[in-house]
A and B are shown apart, each in its own frame.
Chain A
Amino acid sequence: MRMKPPKAGHYDAGPNMIPLVDVVMVILIFLMLTGKFGGQEHFLVSKTPITQKGAGGAVPPPGYVPDEPLEIRVDSLAPDRYIARADGVSGNEYEQLTGQLRALRLRLNAANKPTEKIQVVISPTRGARYSHLLDVYQAALAAGFEKIGFSQAR
Chain B
Amino acid sequence: MKRRQMPDSQTSHPNVTPLIDVVMCLIIFFMLVAKIGVSTGAEAMTIPATVMGLDIKDFGNTVTLNVFPGVTEDEPRVTALVGGTMNELRIRDAQGRNELADTLKFLRFGAAMKPGAATDNPNFAVIIRGEESLQYRYIEPVLMAAAEAQVKNVSFNTRKVSVTVRQ
A and B: bona fide binding partners? yes
Interface residues of A, Cβ cutoff 8 Å to B: 8-11, 13, 17-18, 20-21, 24-25, 27-28, 31-32, 34-47, 49-50, 52, 56, 58, 79-80, 93-95, 124-131, 133-135, 137-138, 141-142, 150, 152-153
Does A35 lie within 8 Å of B158, measured CB to CB? no
Q: Which residues of A contact B155 (CB under 8 A)?
A: 43-46
Are the C-beta atoms of B23 and A28 separated by less than 8 Å? yes
What residues of A have a CB within 8 angstroms of the CB of B55 in the complex?
A: 38, 42-43
Q: Does B97 touch A at the CB level, under 8 Å? A: no
Q: Report the number of A-B residue pairs with Cβ-Cβ less than 8 Å.
A: 174
**Of A21, A31, A42, which is in contact with the most chain B CB atoms at under 10 Å from its CB?**
A42
Residue from A31, A37, A52 having most chain B Cβ neighbours under 10 A: A31
B139 within 8 A of A: yes
8 sample A-B contacts, Cβ–Cβ < 8 Å, listed by A number: A11-B7, A38-B55, A46-B153, A46-B154, A93-B166, A127-B137, A135-B164, A150-B139
Q: Is the CB–CB distance between B139 and A130 below 8 Å?
A: yes
Within the assembled complex, what's the spacing in Å between the Cα atoms of A128 and B137? 8
Q: Known contacts being A31-B30, A131-B48, A131-B133, is A41 close to B23, with CB within 8 Å?
A: no
Question: Do B10 and A43 have beta carbons less than 8 Å apart?
Answer: no
A21 close to B135 (CB less than 8 A): no
B50 near A134 with CB under 8 A, answer: yes
Say which size band chain B's interface belongs to. Answer: 35 or more
Residues of chain A within 8 A of B140, CB atoms compared: 50, 126, 150, 152-153
What A residues does B153 contact at CB under 8 A? 45-47
What separation, in Å, do the CA atoms of A13 and B32 have in the docked complex?
A: 32
**Complex Cα–Cα for A13 and B17 (A):** 11
**Judging by beta carbons under 8 Å apart, are A43 and B53 in contact?**
yes
Cβ contacts under 8 Å, A131 to chain B: 48-49, 132-133, 167
- Give the residues in chain B near A153, CB-CB below 8 Å: 136-137, 140
- Asked if B159 is at the interface (CB within 8 A of a chain A CB), the reply is yes
B60 CB to closest chain A CB, in angstroms? 15
Contact B147 A44 (CB under 8 A): no
Residues of chain B in range 1-48 having any CB-CB distance to chain A below 8 Å = 7-10, 13, 16-17, 19-20, 23-24, 26-27, 30-31, 33-36, 38, 47-48
Instruction: Contacts A50-B144, A94-B164 given; indicate if A130 touches B50 (C-beta within 8 A).
Output: no
| B158, B166, B167 — most chain A CB neighbours (10 Å) | B158
B52 touches A44 (CB 8 A): yes
A145 vs B92: C-alpha distance when bound (angstroms): 35
Tell me the bound Cα distance from A99 to B148 in angstroms: 35
**A129 CA to B33 CA in the complex, in Å?**
34
List chain A residues, Cβ under 8 A from B131.
Answer: 130
Chain A residues within 8 Å of B51, by CB: 94, 138, 142
